[in-house]
Structure 1
Amino acid sequence: MIYAIIIGCEIAFWVLIAAGLAARYLLRRPRLGAVLLLLTPVVDLVLLAAAAIDLRGGGRADFAHTLAAIYLGFSVAYGHRMVKWADVRFAHRFAGGPAPVRLSGSAYTLKCWKDVPFTLLAVGIAAGLLWLLTAIAPDPAQVTALGDTYRILGIILGIDVVWAISYTVWPKKAPAEAVQRA
Structure 2
Amino acid sequence: MVEPLVVLIVACEIGFWVVLGAGLLARYVLRMRRLGAVLLACTPLVDVVLLVATVFDLRSGGEASSVHGLAAIYLGVSVAFGHSLMRWADQRVAHRFAGGPPPVKPPKHGLAKVRHEWREWGKFAVAWAIACSVMLLLMYVVGTPERTQALWGQMGSITLVGVIWLLGWPVYHTVTELVKGRRAEEVAEKGE
Q: How does 1:86-97 map to 2 (within 5 A)?
A: 86-97=89-100
Q: Distance in 2 between matches of 1:71 and 1:95?
A: 32
Residue 59 of structure 2 is aligned to residue 56 of structure 1: yes
Residue 154 of structure 2 is aligned to residue 149 of structure 1: yes
* Superposition CA RMSD, Å: 1.4
Equivalent of residue 75 in structure 1, options 74, 78, 86: 78
Residue 132 of structure 2 is aligned to residue 134 of structure 1: no
Cα pair 1:89 1:100 within 8 Å, conserved: yes
Cα distance, 1:116 vs. partner? Answer: 2.0
Q: Which moved more, 1:16-25 or 1:56-65?
A: 56-65
Structure with bigger gyration radius: 2
Q: How does 1:1-182 map to 2 (within 5 A)?
A: 1-102=4-105, 103-106=107-110, 107-162=112-167, 163-170=169-176
- 1:82-133 deviation digits (Å, cap 9, x = unpaired): 1101100111111111111322112233211111221111100001000111
Cα pair 2:70 2:154 within 8 Å, conserved: no
Q: Distance in 1 between matches of 2:176 and 2:17?
A: 33
Give the unaligned 5+ runs of structure 2: 178-192
1:178 corresponds in structure 2 to none
TM-score using structure 2 length = 0.84
What percent of counterpart residues are identical? Answer: 45
Aligned amino acid, residue 135 of structure 1: Y
Give the unaligned 5+ runs of structure 1: 172-182
Cα pair 2:81 2:123 within 8 Å, conserved: yes
TM-score using structure 1 length = 0.88
Aligned amino acid, residue 42 of structure 2: L
Q: How many residues align?
A: 171
